[in-house]
Amino acid sequence: ERVSRPVTDGGFATSSVAAGGPSVSEYEQPDCEGGSDRPGYLPDAAILERVSHGVHVLWWVTLVGALVAGTMYLAKGAVEPAWEVGFSYDGLFTVAGLLGTTLSFYLYFVGRHYIGTGDAGRNRDSFGTLYKTFQHAAMETAMVTVWVIAGYLLYEYGMAIFAFDIQSLANSAGVLTPVFGALLGLIPGCAAHIVFAQLYAIEEAVPFSALSANAISQDGDALFPLLAIDAKAALIATIYTTVPAVLVGVGLYHLWPYAQYGFGVVG
């Protein structure tokens, strides 16, 4: 059957690849500003809106410090910094990390309900001001930060409580390990995949074939807006990436003798 119209016709979501018109009610309406969907536990206080704008600006200042610290971290050969507060490389790394994490949690759980998310889900041309563009970027990054930390905590506490040995499980699973890596890519977002990359790069618990399969399969945070616009198209797109991920992962496991060993990791 000939498909005459794309999934997105003229910039808006459609109900299917063959029919036009938005599939999500009022999808094209302007995004709600902060406060319209505020949870009941947050007070209706104008001062918190001003505080949230201040936190947003401070978040960007902290990001600059984190960029400097990260560059120095790589220049030093990725040597683990000491936890300290002071006017030094270790102090900058510690303060930028702790402060940036705290500000990200505030923006995600509190700030976005007062100042909005900077017109999330819209094209770049629709941002009213440069400030809104930066606000959108900060809110998106804060959301990713929160969920990545949640993924790490879930993994670390899960390993501590249930005493899982990922490396032994991966060795026992054999060729099924890259298959599992590809299936893990079905999970939207990036938190689970960052943890999986740590299993390869730091703990050397999974083979490179599994990491490759996971990298090909995952759609990251890009899957969230597609799920909201057209769930069927999102499912099809996920299958399109998962099938080749399994093939590549299994192929690496069987055909490439170095596929089960870590390499290329700064250490």
Q: Nearest Cα to 77, choosing from 231, 267, 245, 248?
A: 267
Residue 160 has pLDDT above 70, yes or no: yes
Residue 9 has pLDDT above 50, yes or no: no
Phi-psi region of 10 (alpha: psi -120 to 50; beta: other; left: phi over 0): left
Q: What pLDDT score was predicted for residue 261?
A: 53
> pTM of whole model > 0.85?
no
Q: Report which residue type is found at 184.
A: L
Instruction: Report the chain's mean pLDDT, rounded to a whole number.
Output: 78
Q: What pLDDT score was predicted for residue 17?
A: 44
Q: What pLDDT score was predicted for residue 97?
A: 92
Residue 72 has pLDDT above 50, yes or no: yes
Q: What pLDDT score was predicted for residue 29?
A: 42
Burial class (CB in 10 A: 0-12, 13-18, 19+), 179: buried
**Contact in structure between 189 and 221 (CB atoms under 8 Å):** yes
pLDDT-above-70 percentage for the chain? 78
How much is the average pLDDT of 79-97? 88
**Contact in structure between 84 and 94 (CB atoms under 8 Å):** yes
pLDDT digits (tens, 9 = 90+) for 30-54: 444 555 567 777 888 789 999 999 9
Q: What pLDDT score was predicted for residue 18?
A: 45
Here the tokens at position 222 are 């890009």
Q: What pLDDT score was predicted for residue 199?
A: 84
* Higher per-residue pLDDT: 27 or 67: 67
The pLDDT confidence band at residue 118, using thresholds 50, 70 and 90, is low
Q: What pLDDT score was predicted for residue 260?
A: 54
Q: What pLDDT score was predicted for residue 264?
A: 46
Residue 58 has pLDDT above 60, yes or no: yes
